[in-house]
Every structure is written in structure tokens, then in C-alpha cells.
Structure 1
Amino acid sequence: MAREGVDALLVFGEHEDAGPAPVAYDTWFTNGRPGATVIFPRTGEPIALLPGPMFIMDHLESSRRGETMWIPPHDLRGARTSGTIIETLDRLGLAETAIGVVGLGPHMPWHPEGIIPHGLWSEVVSRLPGADFRPVDLPFGQLVMRLSREEIAVVRHSAGIGDAMVQAMVATAAPGVPESRVYAAGMAAGYGRGSLPPAMHLWSGPDVVAAGPPAWGYRPQAPRVLGDGDVVYAEVFSRFGGRHTQSQVTIAVGDVHEDFHRAADVARAAYDAGLEALRPGRTFGEVVDAMHEPLDAADGWSFLIAVHSLNPGLSVGKGRGLVSRISGAEGYPRVPDHPAFLPDLELVPGMSFAFEPNYAFGRHLVHLGGTVLVGEDMPVELNPYSARLLRAAGD
């Protein structure tokens, strides 16, 4: 707050079921359930504005069990409406001060123009005309990117759970098995180890080019049944203790097309180039450029970004919008290219990143990778298991 010249912070947390890349900066202040709005005066204690009675009940029960609660009951509020925000700022004497806001700035990739609802924020601004609200999302995000020793231990544990999820999927995938069983095996492995993983992304097929949650989760249709020659694509998310890890997964089921092996070699070369570049003192943009060199040199095409930060999800690699390279994509709109976001971000030990290079020859796509930490000198791979083309154990 001193560095940014503000008298308080107002931190808007996204809903707890937001899924991958959640904007949960509120938890850095509460050590609690995501979804609060935190008001933290420069000369006082933070106050948590909670969405409703469930959050109060959870706080009460956790306190009764002796769990560590960072914000005491007298600094909780039972709503986080615009009226509660205005009332709290006014009572703290902040109605005509400079207030740094987390929630107005970009949160990649889902919220490039902020997350605070228009109706709520327009009411706050109109009723506090003397306040000087300033977006501080980026400086705050960069401040917390360097994880503490305790946080790194939590991230390591989360990544281990992610590996167990992937291993369960590899053990389940086989011809004749529905996608839903592979999905369920991975999620069960996460839940059974005390993680609350967000819904994973999963598709399958002999030549499928897609990313995202399986279609049977949002359309009334049966899960696809795996066949010989298929691959299973998955983006597996693990979340433990408020810290996040990711694994990028391609599982070969039976005898797959040779182009999958070629594509895996290119993707792996990009992964290795990223490891070589991930050193303290270098920049995020240098890592992005290094990972794209093998991708640009080969004669196929890449599908999505190759790298982004975790804890928080702040910096994002460049994308080239090559949807037009997919056969059958005629008539679909062009996806605009975008440069790397925060390319000048200097790497320091304790930062965490998702390495997720992908490559395709025709419609034969592979993506691989996992969570990597910036070490004191060398990078620390937390998910080397999924940084290669995997083979289903049950085929």
C-alpha cells in the first residue's frame, strides 16, 4: 500500500466454484473459503465481507474445531453487496481516500477486463464520489507470485496429487472404456487424497483437436467410448490448501498414428527449451520465446499457449489463433493472435508456472507438461510424469 500510494485495499474474490484459473486473491488475506471481498485499511486490520450465512457458519465451525482463522468474528460482515462495501469504507474513514482495488484490472485468460460486476461497482463509485479508486491487480499479483517456503511445500503436495490423478487415468483408459470412467478415476484419485480439483478438461478420439470439459458434461449425450488408436487429452487441475497445479496429459490408447509420436517430440523439445530458460533474473518473455523456437521450426502447427503462471494465474504466453489450420474449420471466425502478457516479468525463485506446450501434424495433436518452479539456480519440475506421451496401461 505504501509503494502504490493507497490508504487501503479492496480485494474482490471470485466465486469459489469458478473453476480453473480462479481469481481468489481474497484467500491471501483470509486463509478461508474463496469468494469474499476484503477491505484492508493501511492502518488497521482486514475486514472480510462474506456472501452469506453459509460462510459465517463455516467460519464458526472451523473456529470451534481449533482451525487457524486469520480474521476474527468481529471483523466479518454478513454480506458483500455494494451497500456493505460503501458502509464499511465510510465507517473506516476511507470514503475520500485513495483505495487500491484488486478486481478492476486484467485477470488472464478469462477476465482480461476485470471481474467486479458492473452493477455493484457503478453503485460504489456513484455513492463515493470522493474516493480515488485505483486498479492494483498487477502489482499485487506480482508481489505474491514469489511463494514462501510453506507455500512451495503446499504446491509440491498439490502436484503429487495431480500425478496420482493422471496415473489413475492411465490405469483406466482402454478400448471399450467410456471417457466418463477415465474422468471419474482421475477425479476420485484427487478427492481421495484430500484435494478439491476443479473440473478437468478431457476429450478423446483418433484425430480430435479440442480442449475443454467433455461435451457430455454440458449437453445431454452419452460419453464417448474409447477405441484402439485413440488418444485421451486432458488438462488435470489439482488444488490443495488454496494453491494450484496443472498437468497436461496425452494418453495413447493402443496403436496410435505415427504423427502423434512426431508431435510429442516437438512438444517435448519446447518443454525442454522452457526448462533451460526458466532461470532467476531472466524474463517471462524469454521463456515464451524459447518454448516457441522448436514449435516455429517444425512443419506442423501449435494449438494453444505454451506456458502461463500459477499462484496466481497472471502471466500468459503468446497465442497465434491457428484455428484455420484445422481441417473442417472453414467458415469459423479467426481467433486473433495475442502477444505474451507481462513479458518483462522478471523471474525470481519461488514462482510457479504451468508448462503446457502442444503441437500437431494435421489433426494429430499432443500436449504435455506440468507444474514447474523457478529454483535458486535450476528449475524444479513437479510433474515430469506427464511431460511425455503416455501409454494407457489397460489397452
Structure 2
Amino acid sequence: MLETHVPTLSMAERNRRWDLARSFMAREGVEALLVFGEHEDAGPAAVAYDTWFTNDRPGATVIFPRGGEPIALLPGPMFIMDHVESTRRGEAMWISPQNLRGARTSRTIIETINALGLAEAAIGVVGLGPHMPWSPEGIIPYGIWSSVLSSFPSAGFRPVDLSFGQLVMRLSPEEIALVRHAATIGDNMVRAMVETAAPGVAENHVYAAGMAAGYGHGSLPPAMHMWSGHDMVAAGIPSWAYRAQAPRVLCDGDVIYAEVFATHGGRQAQNQVTITVGDVHPDVYRAAQVARASYEAGLEVLRPGRTFGELVDAMHQPIDAANGWPFLIAVHSLNPGLSVGKGRGLFSHGPATEGYPLVSDHPTFMADMELVPGMSFAFEPNYAFGRHLVHLGGTVIVGEDQPIELNPYTAQLLPAAGDRVAISRSGS
């Protein structure tokens, strides 16, 4: 499907970001930023701060001197070839050819720092600090970083990940338009899955329908999380994606749980999805009521001036009051994925986990962070009675006074197409 109204980013947005970065460097007392980006195939929650500077293919290392323009160190010749072709087609490229480098090895980093006269400068580094949830201790490879440190004993490198992350979390109007577009793509992906799911259909067909809808709407979504079963308690990419086995075939009474990640222009939306197939267990509907109450409690608190910790606590009130158990966190930030809600040690509370290592409770990460307009969050409240698990939610943005709810479609149970039993039980 060809999209006719696709939001883009202007050169004014580029200038806004670069000016923000220069002001940030002045406040932090650093002469440059050294920004590491993960590989373009890093999947959901990728560390892609490099694209904030480049509006280009993920996977660069960016060095930005306070008095100049960003320099992008690219992984290889393919990236340069893409830049050449995009320029030939008349696309407005944010990084000029003279500010590109053909490698992002430690040697190239060292050469660029020396060429910029930063050998003894204070340099803020994005990549050393926590990047939740996959990289709580940073993403920079040891070999690269040890070489850089040994080459510049008089430089002052220090992590600025958290403060820089909060800087970019407040999305501009152009960026909000990107997230809205991604959220619409996410809804369309889920609708395709709902239309496909039925008893006798293999999991991979449901997965393929969702991903195809993302591609068809001009997005390249990362790997989707999806599991199914009568009493399934699991999350992540389906097991047939990494283990040599056949995909599971759906049965009457199954529940499909999925996390759908849609992206556009380097900005991400996220849908939390529970699809019922036929006559599911009554505890599924009970769990959905708890999850929905948590979702609505979050909407009430997502206001400028409140804190992330207050948001997390509000969403946990219905969860803590029920007599089942939460599976995962209820909320985290998007664009970037920086702040994370508190979590209970699921193997301390979940059923049938004897013999497995305990997973400790963890507090809210960045609880004191103030909510400001333009911040985006994934609302993903989840709850289970026994082994009957429900996840609901989607992308929500802090508005000037009211929250901007982008995915109300997935903030409810979704009966598979033609499933009259589930529609009747849900009271729709």
C-alpha cells in the first residue's frame, strides 16, 4: 500500500537539534560529543542516538565539536554509496560529504579527535551509560574504548547518556508527527494479525501478516515479539525464530500476546497486543480488567509537572490491589527508551517456576524525571491470574494539558476476526 501523506523532517528540524546539542555541550562543560550508535539490525530498543544528528542510516559514530558540525564515522562503503545515491536523487542530506568518514574503528575515532584539536578536551560520551533494557552498562566495545582512552590520557571523557537522553525525549512537532505515523502503522499491523488469527492457522502466518502490513505501509519494523497458547506466560520473539522447530498452530481457546514495534523516520511507536481466539478462559477477562484499570490510571497522571515515578505508582495501584500477579513492567519511555517502571521479581511470584533462578525486584529507573510535553511512553500494563496473562496498551505522548493517546485500539482485548464468543464475553 502506497502512503500518500508521509511526514518528513525539515532542515529547520536539523538546525533545531544541532542547536540543542550545542547548548547542551555548553551547559555540561564539554567541548564535543562522542556518540555511539548500534548496528542498524539491533532490533527493538536500539541505541540509535546517531540518527538524531544525521537523519540517516543507523549505525554511525558521531563526533560533534561544539564550534563546528557533526562528523559521521560510517561502518563501511555501503553507507557512503547510499549517501551518494540519495544526494543524486535530490534528497536533503543533513551531513555533508566532507563530514563523512569511511570507517568507525578506534583508529578513525582517534584520527578525528586529533584533527579537531580535541586531544586534551572535555568530551561528553553517549554510549558509556545505561541504555535500557538491553544495555544497562553501556554499548561501547571494550577494544574500541580501551584504544581511545590510551591514546588520549589528557582528555576528559565522561558519560552524558542520561542527561542527553532527557534532552531528546521532548519531541518537536515534526517528531510527534513521525510517532503518530508510526503508531498508525502499528495499528494496521495489529489489524492484519487479528484478521489472520483463527484456529488451525500457524503462528508464523499471523506474524507474517503483521510484518507484511508494516512493510506495506512503508515501515521496516524490527522483529516482533509474539507467543500464543491456552495458558502461555512468555515474551519475546517466537521460539521458532531461534530454535529449530515448527511454528505452533493456533487452537480454540488460545491467546496471542504480541509486542508490535513500528518505526518511521527514526521514531518508534509500540503496541501491546492480546488477541483472543475462540472461547478463552474466564481469567483472561479478569486479567484484562486489571490491565485496563492500570492503563486508565496512567492516563490520569500523564501530565506536565508530574514525575515518572508518580506515573509508575499510579499504574501499579490497580495491579497491587488485585490478587494475581504482574508479568513485566507497566510503562517505559520511548524515543529514547530511557526510563523504566518498577518490576516485581517475576520468578518470585509466577507459577510453575520451581528450580529456576530468582529474578529480583527492581525499582523505577529515573523516578524523579519530570514529565514535559512531547515525551513519549509505551503504556504496557500486564496482569495474570494463574497462567492466564493479558498485555494491553500502546503509545502515549505527554500533551500540553491532556495525554495524547495514539493506540487506543490495542488498549483492549482484541477478539480474532469472526470470534463471536469473545465479543459476547467482553461485553462489546
Residue deviations 1:307-364 (CA, integer Å, cap 9, x gap): 0000011100011112233332100000111111101110111110000000000000
Deviations 1:136-191 (A, max 9, x none): 11111000100000000111010000000000000100000000000000000000
Contact 1:303–1:323 under 8 Å retained in 2: no
Match of 1:213 in 2: 237
Contact 2:325 2:350 in 1 (8 A): no
One of 226, 236, 246 as aligned partner of 2:260: 236
Mark the runs of 5 or more structure 1 residues left unpaired by the alignment: none
Alignment match of 1:122 (pick from 139, 142, 146): 146
Residue number in structure 1 paired with 2:341: 317
Mapped partners of 2:256, 2:325: distance in 1: 19
Corresponding residue of 1:40: 64
Give matches, 1:1-395, under 5 Å. 1-395=25-419
Aligned to 1:66, what secondary structure does the other structure show? coil
Mark the runs of 5 or more structure 2 residues left unpaired by the alignment: 1-24, 420-428
Contact 2:329 2:342 in 1 (8 A): yes
Q: Report the equivalent of 2:425.
A: none
Deviations 1:68-96 (CA, angstroms, capped at 9, x unpaired): 21011111000000010001000100000
Partners of 2:82 and 2:290 lie apart in 1 by 48
Contact 2:395 2:407 in 1 (8 A): yes
Q: Equivalents in 2 of 1:60, 1:324: separation in Å?
A: 54
State the shift of 1:135 in Å: 0.4
Q: Give RMSD over aligned pairs.
A: 0.7
Q: Distance in 2 between matches of 1:272 and 1:35?
A: 37
CA distance in 2, matches of 1:41, 1:391: 53
Instruction: Determine the C-alpha separation between the residues in 1 that align with 2:332 and 2:92.
Output: 31
- In structure 2, distance between residues paired with 1:13 and 1:104: 11
Identity %: 79
Task: Tell me if the contact between 2:294 and 2:314 (Cα under 8 Å) persists in the aligned partners.
Answer: yes
Contact 1:318–1:340, Cα closer than 8 Å, also in 2: yes
Question: 2: CA distance between counterparts of 1:193 and 1:68?
Answer: 23
TM-score (norm 1): 0.99
Q: Secondary structure at the match of 1:133?
A: strand
- Aligned to 1:181, the other structure's residue is in SS state helix
Q: Which runs of 4+ in 1 moved over 6 A?
A: none
Q: Secondary structure at the match of 2:312?
A: helix
Aligned positions, number: 395
Question: What secondary structure is seen at the aligned counterpart in 2 of 1:26?
Answer: helix
Q: Residue type matched to 2:38 in 1?
A: E
Which amino acid in structure 2 is aligned with residue 287 of structure 1?
L
| In structure 2, distance between residues paired with 1:357 and 1:133 | 39
Decide which structure has greater helix share.
Answer: 2
What secondary structure sits across from 2:49 in the alignment?
coil
Amino acid at match of 1:83: R
Q: Is the 8 A contact 1:355 1:371 kept in 2?
A: yes
1:92, 1:190 → 2: CA distance? 42
- Give the conservation status (yes or no) of the 8 Å contact 1:48–1:71: yes
Whether the 8 Å contact between 1:173 and 1:394 is mirrored in structure 2 is no
Query: Does the aligned pair in 2 maintain the 1:170–1:394 contact within 8 Å?
Result: no
Shift of 1:394: 4.6
